[in-house]
Structure formats: structure tokens, C-alpha cells
Amino acid sequence: MSLPIRTIAVVVVTYNSAHLLADLVGSLPGGLAGLGWRLVVVDNASADDTVATAHRMAPDATVVETGRNGGYAAGINAGVAAAFAADPDVDAVLVLNPDVRLEPDCVAALARELVPGVGVAVPRLVDAEGRLIESMRGAPSLVRAFADAVVGANRAGRVRWAGEVVVDPAEYDRGQDTDWAEGSTQLISAECWRACGPWDESYFLYSEETEFHLRARDRGFRVRFVPAARAVHLGGESTTSPGLWALLVANRVRLFTVRRGRVQGAAYWLMVLARECSRALLGKQTSRRAVRTLVSPRRMSAPRGPEWVASA
């Protein structure tokens, strides 16, 4: 039996996102059809006219200006705090990237899956060309890191226990629980949010959704993949930007170490380093930057932020 979902806070974190807002906002009425919702836009000190565009495109939305680029998790936390302050009876939080476009009835399908015990529901995602985005993930482990280093993520992902990324297209045709999922589009029950607390702002960008989903599982909540719910995610720069890729890799190692301890963390670091070295030898600039970051104690221990990315 689904939990009663009457009011949804839609939280969007923006950073120089003016060019994305029109299509996002335009997709919300259809994507949230049949549900009560209110949009909260949190801007992380954009240098463009994102704030003005948000006011123009969504005049009824709450726009929170943080005054700094504190990262994605910090923006989400600010948005949820504003939503709960305005309406303490919010039933769920829909977290969206600004480059997401909801398909009709997407959120209603997600809401139906928020049965007792399910804390997070995520949709089937495709990219701008309509290609499936492999969004389901297994929890980070030494076995998965080793398989990724030896045979690569795609080959490892063909075996569910061996790969972190679920790559079999058939798996995306059926509803199922997943350890965690790509975080661009997710419906989080208010019960789950209150039990788990805010997202960890120390990650700045990348691994924050991993940490939250795994923390939710630690507290007895499931993460549910819902193929009937559909959305488009245009995608980011992490695979092409050396600085962002280095941040993604560093945060993966940090998260694993925090959860499993320094001994297992050291083994995980070694496997990730081996993976990045092998790709750096093939000429990948992103992996070369990641290797330099991984072997730098100063970089690995430094607080993450925009300055970290710029100097990575």
C-alpha cells in the first residue's frame, strides 16, 4: 500500500543554469500531474541570469539565493529546509537537476512506489538522444573495484555482483530495489528524509547521492527503481572535464573509506589508482588528472569546493 503523497516539494539546485530552466519548468505540470506540488529553486551564486530567469519562468516558486557555491548537497539541504519551513506537512521531496525533463505522469508513478519501507524512488532515465542511461548502481565494494580495474565497468556490470553499474538493458524494464542510483531525479519520502537527516555537504559534488542512499539503506529504507516513471537527463561534464572527473574519483575513494575504514579504504584506493593509471596510459586526460589527485595526500585530504576543482 502506497504512502499518502499529497504535497511534494520540488527542489532544483542551479548554478549558471538559466539556459536550462525553461524546458525544466515546462515539463513539471505534466510530470507532476494529479499531485500537489511547489517548486523551490536554490541558486548557488550563479554568474548568469539564473535567478531572474527562475522568477520569470516560475513566478510562484520559492527562490533561495545561497550567496555562495557550497555544492549540490548544500543546495538541496537549503531547498528542503525552505520547503519544510513553508509547509511542515510536505509528504515527499522531488530532487531534480536543472537539466532534467520529466515525462508525463513520471512523479505519480514514483509516488505509487513509496510504500512503507521504500525511502527513495527513481525513474528510468534516457539522454537527449533517447538512449538508456544506466542509472542503477551496486554498493561500492572491493570486489567491484577490482573487477572494474581488471575488465572495465561495462564488462564487470554484466554480472550483477561484480559490477557497480548495472549495464543489462533488460534490468531497466522491471521494477526492483537497487543499492543506489544516479541522483538527477529522485523522490524521497519525508519520513526517509527526517530519519536520515540532511545530505552530507562535505562531498560538494558527486557521491552525495551515493552516501545518502546508502545511509537510507542503513536505516532500513529501500531505494526503488521504477521503469514506469520516465525522465530525460541531458547529462553533465564529469566524463570530459579533468577537474570534475578527479573530483568524482576522489569522492568515491573518500566515501568508501568513511564507510569501511582505512584498511579496506587503502585497498580500494589502490584498485581505483590502478584503473585510472591504465586509462592514463591510453592517453585519457581525465584519468591523468585523477592519478595526480589520487597520489597527492594534500589533494585527497583537502576540503572539496569550486577552488578544488579549478586547481585539480
For residue 237, count other CB atoms closer than 10 A to its CB. 9
Average of per-residue pLDDT across 50-60? 96
Q: pLDDT higher for 20 or 2? A: 20
Query: pLDDT tens for residues 154-173?
Result: 787 777 778 899 999 999 99
Task: Indicate whether 297 pLDDT > 70.
Answer: yes
Three cell numbers, residue 64: 533561495
Three cell numbers, residue 147: 573487477
| pLDDT range class, residue 312, cuts 50, 70, 90 | low
| pLDDT range class, residue 307, cuts 50, 70, 90 | confident
Q: Which of 55, 38, 59 is nearest to 107 (CA)?
A: 38
Task: Indicate whether 303 pLDDT > 90.
Answer: no
Task: Indicate whether 238 pLDDT > 90.
Answer: no
Domains, the chain, with CATH or none = 7-140+166-233 (3.90.550.10), 242-311 (no CATH)
